[in-house]
Structure 1
Amino acid sequence: MTGMEGIIPILLTPFNDDLSIDYASLEREVEATLGAGVHGIGIAIGSEIFKLTPKERGEILRAVAKQVDRRVPVIMNTSAPGTAPAVQLAIEAAEAGATRLMIWPPDFFACGAESVIDHLRRIADAVSLPIVLQDVPQAPISPALALRIAEAVPLVDTIKVETQPTVAQVAAMTAAVGEQLTILGGAGGGTIVEEYRRGARGTMPFASQAQDFMQIWNCLNEGKSEQAAEIVENRILPVSRLGFQSADLFYHVHKAILCEANQFDRATVRPPTALPDSVTAKEIEQLVERVAG
């Protein structure tokens, strides 16, 4: 098995007051994430890529890939509802320095297993980069379909599980494709301990908590699951509990953590976004004080 393993944080994108990308803050975030000892870095929905222009997508990937300088893999999400744009995004990502792609199936219309396999095969034919398959609520992948994809598209070597309940889905994936695909957890990493016990071999959390997740990962690999669970309870779940309460609140929460860590200059979330009300803003402030230490 040659898929991705370990802690592969998703970068958050920092923005200036004029909503342009703040590359100075991004550089600090990347260096701090690498300094935590992570096994890869991702640019994906957690990075607000759906709010970036095509030019910005290329620019941010090139900046990250140049800074990482192949110290760890750089994974770029190139999902699209149509095959032609998905192929084009994959080609552009490869040219900009991505070393892996992350893709979920077309989600505009349900198109059936054969079409999903054809979609992924066409991407693999255009760009010879390994692929992390993403199992997401808007485009769920059953264990049976994951097995068919693994057999039909050899470049797919990893699957990130994010359909709920993730723990049960990880167990089902392990039973079905554990010999063919490396299984990663997702959805913020709050159930990393339970997923690990059922066969997951990593997760893709937000970069704002890379150091915490590396501590958890090291504990798991040393057989200290109770210590890992304690870190999750004290450091990860309080953040997830607030961040996933509504809309895109998690962007505001995780960027506030990065500001407290002096990685971001500001916690600006690019529109459209649901701005926190005064009560929620106070809760974010209190949470940041709690997890900053």
Structure 2
Amino acid sequence: MSTSLSGIIPPLVTPFTADGEIDEAAFRAQVRFMLQKGVHGVCVGGSTGEGHTLSTEELTRLVAISCEEVDGAVPVVAGIIVNSTRDAIAKAKAMAHLPVAALQVTPVHYVFKPDEDATLAHFRTLAGETQVPIVIYNVVPWNYLSPSLLVRIMKEIDSVIGVKQSAGDLKLMADLLNEQVPGKLVFTAVDALLYPSFALGAHGTIAANPAAVPGVTVALWNAVQAGDHPRALEIHRSLLTFWNTINGDNLPGCVKHSLSRQGCEVGVPRQPMPAATEAQKARIDAALREVLRYEASPTTAAAE
């Protein structure tokens, strides 16, 4: 089983039917689509996967399917988006029998913001109840953890192996990378700035762009790792134009449309999230045609 986390790890979307049920066949096909594009791992139950809408049973089933489909070829990361330590533990324990490489766990996301000691205690308690490594998913706008707090948590809790840094502030990403906590990982979810994130030393990405155009983000990763920065900058410019067409309050719906245009049918969002509008679809389609020119070939991706 592959457990090494690095490179392009798309957060899978969750295919829903019109009545809000999970389409398992479509989900399996999506995992196979991602593997064909040369990704280095998959993440289940993230924000792009509408993980906040999934029951414990649904999340566990999707993680199990992912583990079956990848069959050890790449690591599987399981997302936990909940509002209490108790619920985080319950989800982690429900997946304890599965070969998961890491848990991607948010700070709590409701109105009330715990102080730093309470946040540290949240992750410490969770770590004490699971054997699975933890990646902090730093995404909640009103509970956004500072680089200093993230470093403190990583230093004090051995099984917190890294951070997925979201939002658009590349300075905070750079500060976090500059700390260079030994043995810890920093993943970027700064979708607009994946290229500079990679160039600064991010260990990979778990973000919406990889979910929407996995082959293109693999090509970007490969270019940076090879030191081909002119090529990487060219891909970045096209990828940024594409990102600007899918970025919005219905981001998962826009990612689903992008995948459908590549022959990967993944259903509709779960209510109340709307699907991509006709105007969004038109903008996405135009940008998608351009950005897919940079897609890594399956042969090249598989060699990385």
- Which one-letter code corresponds to 1:59 in the other structure? R
Give 2:136's match in structure 1, choosing from 133, 137, 147: 133
For residues 14-68 of structure 1, the C-alpha deviation after alignment (integer angstroms, 9 at most, x for no partner) is: 1223332122221121012112222211011111122223322221111111111
- Rounded Cα–Cα distance in structure 1 between residues aligned with 2:105 and 2:163: 9
Unmatched tracts of structure 2, length 5 or more? 294-304
Q: Partners in 2 of 1:63 and 1:290 — Cα distance?
A: 33
Q: 1:160 aligns with which of 151, 154, 164?
A: 164
Identity %: 24
Helix, strand or coil: the match of 2:213? helix
Query: What is the aligned residue count?
Result: 286
Which residue pairs with 1:144 in the alignment?
A: 148
Pick closer, same or farther for the CA change 1:279–1:150 going to 2, 3 Å: closer
Contact 1:3–1:182 at 8 Å: present in 2 too? no
State whether residues 257 and 281 of structure 2, in contact with CA within 8 Å, keep that contact through their aligned partners in structure 1: no
C-alpha change, 1:30 and 1:170, in structure 2 (3 Å) is same
Decide whether aligned partners of structure 1 residues 96 and 142 sit closer, same or farther in structure 2, where only a CA change above 3 A counts.
same
**Deviates further, 205-214 or 38-47:** 205-214
- SS of residue matched to 1:77: strand
Q: Distance in 1 between matches of 2:173 and 2:181?
A: 10
Unaligned runs of 5+ in 1: none
Partners of 2:213 and 2:256 lie apart in 1 by: 11
Map of 1:176 onto structure 2: 179
Q: Which residue of 2 aligns with 1:12?
A: 13
Q: Secondary structure at the match of 1:219?
A: helix
TM-score by length of 2: 0.86
Q: Deviations over 1:109-158 (max 9, x none)?
A: 22111111111111111111111112223421212111211121101111
Secondary structure at 1:191's aligned position in 2?
helix
1:117 to 2:124 alignment: no
Task: Give the CA deviation at 1:83.
Answer: 0.9
User: 2:84 matched to 1:45?
Assistant: no
Structure-1 separation of matches of 2:123 and 2:86: 11
What is the rounded CA distance, in whole Å, between the counterparts of 1:148 and 1:284 in structure 2?
Answer: 40
Shift in Å at residue 278 of structure 1?
A: 4.0
Alignment match, 2:298? none
Counting only pairs closer than 5 Å after superposition, residues 182-221 of structure 1 correspond to structure 2 as: 182-188=185-191, 190-206=192-208, 207-221=211-225
Q: Is the 8 A contact 1:256 1:288 kept in 2?
A: no
AA aligned to 2:58 is E
**Aligned counterparts of 1:242 and 1:77: Cα–Cα separation in 2:** 25
Deviations 1:221-250 (A, max 9, x none): 10012201211212x222210111x311x2
Partner of 2:57: 55
Counterpart amino acid of residue 157 in structure 1: I
Change (3 A) 1:209 1:3: same
Do 2:14 and 2:50's aligned partners in 1 also have CA atoms closer than 8 Å?
Answer: yes
* Residue in structure 2 matched with residue 227 of structure 1 by the alignment: 231
Mapped to 2, the partners of 1:228 and 1:144 lie a distance apart of 31
Task: Report whether the alignment pairs 1:91 with 2:93.
Answer: yes
Query: Normalised by the size of structure 1, how large is the TM-score?
Result: 0.89
1:255 aligns to 2:259 (yes or no): no
Distance, in Å, in 2 between the alignment partners of 1:28 and 1:214 is 19
Q: Which amino acid aligns with 1:174?
A: L
Counterpart of 2:48 in 1: which secondary structure? helix
Partner Cα separation in structure 1 for residue 203 and residue 60 of structure 2: 29
Distance 1:284 1:170 in 2: 28
Q: 2:68 aligns with which of 59, 66, 69?
A: 66
Whichever residue aligns with residue 129 of structure 1, its letter is V
Shift of 1:285: 4.0
Distance 1:170 1:184 in 2: 9
Compute the displacement of 1:277 (Å).
4.3
Q: In structure 2, what is the equivalent of residue 269 of structure 1? A: 269
